[in-house]
Amino acid sequence: MPSVPNALLQQYVKLTEFLGLALGPDYEVALHDMTDKNRSIIAIANNHVSGREIGAPLTNVALSILRDKSYETSDYRLHYYGVSVNGKELRSSTMFIKQNGRLIGMLCINFDDSRYRELGGRLMGLCHPDMFVEDVLPADGKPAVKSPAPEKFRNSTDAVAVDAIARELEQLGVGAERLTGEERLKIVAALEQGGIFLLKGAVRDVAAGLGCSQASVYRYLAQVKGDREDI
């Protein structure tokens, strides 16, 4: 386990272990140190849930929280949608650890309900004919309305960038090799808004993902920031 320089965070290391044992194997508990966004996880219990290890980076949702500073007006964020390294759907909640108003850490709990969904499906099968379950009842665990981007749990910073780029490309309906300059600018603006560029090496990873030079990404970023200042 890496050293934890902050005395307050050190107390949460044991809490992470305790909660993992108390809640059981379907609950992952992860402690993030905000001083190193690229290797932020300093303690984790039941890490089989998300597939991450100590030293994994901040997620896309955590970066977005840093970027929009929502932690300044709230102490936690509850019950949002996450996806593990292996594609498993999770219910996630995060508590913001603050010291003198400054965000120094995040304590995250990620719940894997797949065993209960399977049991629920069997019970519904006992109550209803297969046709009713398939045609009438809503699909298990699928959001009924369009939801924000799910939290993606990754073990490397380049994977965080790849996920964010893939989402933007999917929304545009075009491959990276067919992007116009205007479309690249739009994607960079969305990535900047989502906090991706808070990670070290993000410019390099985004340039590779968009099929352009790092100089081009810096130029797009300058234009995005300039347009914001003009508003």
What are the distances in angstroms from CA 107 to CA 75, 118, 141, 218? 11, 28, 24, 33
pLDDT at residue 5, rounded to an integer: 64
pLDDT at residue 72, rounded to an integer: 96
**DSSP letter at 141?**
T
Who's near 143: CB < 8 A, 6+ residues apart? 81
pLDDT at residue 3, rounded to an integer: 55
Neighbouring C-beta atoms of residue 18, cutoff 10 Å: 12
pLDDT at residue 32, rounded to an integer: 97
Q: E strands along 34-88, which residues?
A: 41-45, 76-83
- Joined together, the tokens standing for residue 7 give 């005395």
- Joined together, the tokens standing for residue 211 give 């099929």
Alpha-carbon Rg for the chain in angstroms:
20
Has this prediction a pTM greater than 0.85?
no
In angstroms, rounded to a whole number, what is the distance separating the alpha carbons of residues 189 and 15?
A: 38
pLDDT at residue 95, rounded to an integer: 98
Q: Which of 98, 42, 91 is nearest to 71 (CA)?
A: 98
pLDDT at residue 130, rounded to an integer: 65
pLDDT at residue 22, rounded to an integer: 98
In angstroms, rounded to a whole number, what is the distance separating the alpha carbons of residues 14 and 46?
A: 14
b/e burial code for range 167-200 (CB count within 10 A of at least 16 → b): bbbeebeeebeebeeebbbbbbbbbbebbbbbbe
Task: Please give the chain's pLDDT, 231 residues, in tens.
Answer: 455 568 999 999 999 999 999 999 999 999 999 999 999 999 999 999 999 999 999 999 999 999 999 999 999 999 999 998 888 899 999 999 999 999 999 999 999 998 888 887 778 777 776 665 566 555 554 444 445 678 889 999 999 999 999 999 999 998 999 999 999 999 999 999 999 999 999 999 999 999 999 999 999 999 998 877 765
pLDDT at residue 141, rounded to an integer: 44
**DSSP letter at 148?**
P
